[in-house]
Amino acid sequence: MTAALEVIEAPAKAIEGRSPVLLAMRRLRRDKVAMGSLVVIVLIVLMAIFAPVVAAITGHPPNEQYRQIGLTPDGLPRGPNGTFWFGTDDLGRDVLVRIAYGARISLLVGVAATAITVVIGVVLGLAAGFLGGIVDTILARLIDVVLSVPFLLVAIALVSITGPSLSITVLVIGFFSWASVARIVRGQVLSLREREFVEAARSLGAGDTRIMFVDVLPNVLAPVIVYTTLLIPVVIVTQATLSFLGLGLPPPTADWGGMISESQNYYTTAWWFILFPGIALLITTLAFNLFGDGVRDAFDPRADRLR
């Protein structure tokens, strides 16, 4: 008996147990583009965290209007110069400092709204797929409804009714994005719940909630992680789009979409006013998308075949 146990244990020590997530992380670390994007993301996060430092270095608070030195005698924005490295906006504010502060809004909304989306999506998707029956019927229709509604239109309408604010933006985006997550999770769970390990857990006396969250959930993590990384840039763009349409954060808060919207009337005279916030937004979404693409490849079991 003891000898038999030892035989089983010995190879278990020799072969290192690697979960799919661990294997994916390993593949991801070897992906140069993904790692490069991650560095860019970290830099953007640092810029957001240290936005007050940027303000201190330039000596310009984000909402200070330099009407004398920041505007031309005609009242137009000033181009990049020694004092204002990225130029000024239509009110004589420092574009560089406002970009640094704008990163806070983009990242905050990106992470918060994505978190809400994923939590709602995973819980409802699990419930629908695992519990089945009437719960599934109701949730499946609800998913259909949310996916059929023209998201941007309803989001604009809602924000215009409630008045723009950070929390409303986050809630609206989260509320309308969970359905895709729920659909993915539901699909996976539908096949997972027929597997033996669920039966095994049940025979050990585990309840529905425990099986759902402890046994089934880890098995749907891979698609959820992939979807989450790719959702962040979408959310950032959505927030910027709402701002661009005039439903961002109330002024004078600096946010990228709002800055681009304000720059529209000046794009013939002040290219820096649109260019720098535009580049900031594009670099951020591109970095997240490239990273997300790497994550997807890393989790794709077929990726090995191609490499």
Distance in Å from the first CA to the final CA of the chain: 44
Among 148, 194, 203, 204, indicate the residue that binds other proteins (CB under 8 A): 148
User: Cα separations (Å) of 145 from 98, 139, 171, 179?
Assistant: 39, 10, 18, 9
Nearest distance in Å: CB 162, other proteins = 8
Is residue 156 within the footprint of other proteins (CB under 8 A)?
yes
Token pair for 106 = 């983009």
Which position among 244, 273, 276, 299 is part of the footprint of other proteins (CB under 8 A)?
244
Output the CA angle 136-139-142, nearest 5 degrees.
150
Q: Binding-site residue total for other proteins (CB under 8 A)?
A: 41
Among 166, 241, 266, 303, binds other proteins (CB under 8 A): 241
Tell me the chain's radius of gyration from C-alpha atoms.
Answer: 24
Nearest Cα residue to 209 out of 117, 118, 123 = 123
Considering only the stretches 39-47, 57-65, 107-115, 286-294, report the one whose residues sit in contact with other proteins under the rule CB under 8 A.
Answer: 286-294
**Rounded distance, CA 88 to CA 98, Å?**
10
**Cβ distance 89 to 276 under 8 Å?**
no
* Nearer Cβ to other proteins (150/218): 150
160 binds other proteins (CB under 8 A): yes
25 binds other proteins (CB under 8 A): no
Interacting residues toward other proteins by CB under 8 A: 141, 144-145, 147-150, 152-154, 156-158, 160-162, 233, 237, 240-241, 244-245, 257, 260-261, 264, 267-268, 271, 274, 278, 281-282, 285-286, 288-290, 293, 306-307
